[in-house]
Amino acid sequence: MIAFSAQMQATVDFAADLIRQSKRAVALTGAGISTPSGIPDFRSEGTGLWAQDEPLEVASLQTFRTAPEKFFAWFRPLAGQIYHAQPNVAHLALAALEKAGKLVSIITQNIDWLHQKAGSQTVIETHGSLHTLTCAQCYRKVDAENYIDEFVATGALPHCSTCGGLLKPDVILFGEQLPQAAWSQAQTAAQRCDLMIVVGSSLEVLPVAGLPMQALERGAHLLIINRTPTYLNVRADLVFDQDISIVMPAIAEKVLNG
């Protein structure tokens, strides 16, 4: 157990009280919750993926359709990191809160499936998931487990065993609409919650970045845990800019064990 300053402990206690008192708490997670698991985020200065590559040139639906080799060459090292990553203590903390009935659902912008690996049951994936692939020709959906290792090892593009079409990871690329069912579920969760906990999201990517505002407009409380400022810091009940892998477990521990 990490020893906090008196001021920090009081803030953790207040956050825990918000969660205990809520009836319909929802978490919204972004890339920052997965960086302790070894997955790079997209926008951190100097280290983010977009510091090295122009997103529209490598991670767009247009590139996948017209130059799939270019897309897969960029995606190959990232795919291995994501698929074999393991949940960290922040993921486990959210799973524990859900299991205890203190969290209704998790809305995530991440594609890494780490919430599910941690044990979370109700996860709304607004940007898709690397867990499955879909054939661009016959639309057959397959488990990524049967393709990822060979793709990472050899760079061979994944093809459908039924029709031979190219398999697309079920992640949302630039120029692609969010999955309708997931987006509808995310909006409903945001509009019905009485507390939204933002964990590891800079709230820069629309339309998901607008979900906390929808919650606020309906009277919900807002707790933000993120290294960098967000546009809603001034509206939040509490803001933590410390390490997520320290703060989130400490809050969960206080909620669950007092």
Domain count, the chain: 2
Where among 113, 147, 171 does a domain terminate?
Answer: 171
The CATH number for 72's domain is: 3.30.1600.10
**Residues that are catalytic:** 127
What global pTM score does this model have?
0.91
Mean of all residue pLDDT scores within the chain: 92
Report the percent of the chain where pLDDT is more than 70.
94
Q: Is there a single domain that holds both residue 35 and residue 55?
A: no
- What are the residues whose beta carbons fall under 8 Å from the beta carbon of 22, sequence distance 6 or more? 102, 193, 194, 195, 221
Domain of residue 167, residue span:
48-84+128-171
Q: Is there a single domain that holds both residue 35 and residue 100?
A: yes
Detail the DSSP E strand segments found in the chain: 25-29, 105-108, 123-125, 128-135, 141-143, 167-171, 195-199, 221-225, 238-240
Q: Is there a single domain that holds both residue 200 and residue 96?
A: yes
With contact defined as beta carbons under 8 Å apart, do 190 and 215 qualify?
yes
Q: Is there a single domain that holds both residue 21 and residue 100?
A: yes
pLDDT digits (tens, 9 = 90+) for 38-67: 998 755 444 444 445 566 678 899 999 999
Name the residue among 59, 64, 76 with its Cα closest to residue 150: 76
Q: Is there a single domain that holds both residue 160 and residue 188?
A: no
Give pLDDT, residue 54. Answer: 61
With contact defined as beta carbons under 8 Å apart, do 28 and 197 qualify?
yes
Q: Is there a single domain that holds both residue 255 and residue 218?
A: yes
Starting at the edge strand that comes first in sequence, how are the strands of the sheet with 128-135 ordered?
Answer: 141-143, 128-135, 167-171
Q: Is there a single domain that holds both residue 70 and residue 54?
A: yes
Instruction: Tell me the two tokens of residue 85.
Output: 């990553």
pLDDT digits (tens, 9 = 90+) for 102-113: 999 999 999 999
Q: Is there a single domain that holds both residue 6 and residue 70?
A: no
Q: How far apart are CA 155 and CA 152, in angstroms?
A: 6
Q: Is there a single domain that holds both residue 151 and residue 225?
A: no
